[in-house]
Amino acid sequence: MQSIKSLKAAAADLLNVNQPKISALLHYKLDGYSVERLMIFLTALDRDVEISIKKPSKKESGRIWNSFRLYWALYGGWRALLTSPYFHFSIAITIMLSRFWIGDDGAKIWPQASTNILPNMMGFSVAGMAVFLAFSQPQTMKAITEEGEPKSYFMLAVAQFFHFIFVQAVAMLLGVVGLHFASDYLSAFGVFFLIYSLFVGVAMAMTLLHTAQIINAASSLPDQTDEKRRR
């Protein structure tokens, strides 16, 4: 214990700062220090500083694939998709409305609906994600991240946002293609994804409601930072 104190004292003298700041640096509390000053500290401690610029270790396609694999695993994979009531409702409604999208007349209606409705929905989706992150206070984030659990509520909620936006993107892409090509098969998939994206929007709204409940409950808890300051 005495040797640690002496080392801190020696480091404080060498870097021309007080010992509490040395303790803060040892605990990675770097607030108030510029990169330049940290480099000066390292030089004073007889350490060389090298800055290297390298190409990414993984290809862009590899990162995209890994992102999709993470999303799919968090979402629950094919089991979660095929057992989703929203998925079943979308199939049923698509079949029920088949007389409206089969044929040349129907092939002109659904692409216009997709390209008119979904861009606004996607905008609300991104805004909802921003609100989700912006209103998450430290104590709230601690609750929903569950101490870094790989499948914490936070990660599952973000995966649902990803799913929502992905479904909308596929539906919009089918709508754009449908504006130029007429096919009953294309119409079937286009109408299905349009309806499914609406249902997934409802599911996403429920997730936001549950998140609001967590934030509301967490706000009633005493702030540990304030308690420490009072002590």
* Residue-by-residue DSSP string for 32-57: T--HHHHHHHHHHTT----------S
pLDDT in tens, 159-203: 988 999 999 999 999 999 988 888 889 999 999 999 999 999 888
Tell me the residue length of the chain.
231
Band of the pLDDT at 76, cuts 50, 70, 90?
A: very high
Q: Is residue 72 part of a domain?
A: yes
Q: Is residue 51 part of a domain?
A: no
Q: What amino acid occupies position 17?
A: V
- Together in a domain, 17 and 115: no
- Together in a domain, 78 and 150: yes
The range of the structural domain enclosing residue 26 comes to 2-44
pTM, whole model, 2 decimals? 0.66
- Together in a domain, 11 and 116: no
Q: Is residue 207 part of a domain?
A: yes
Helix-helix angle 153-178:184-219, to 10 degrees: 150
- Together in a domain, 169 and 142: yes
- Together in a domain, 212 and 107: yes
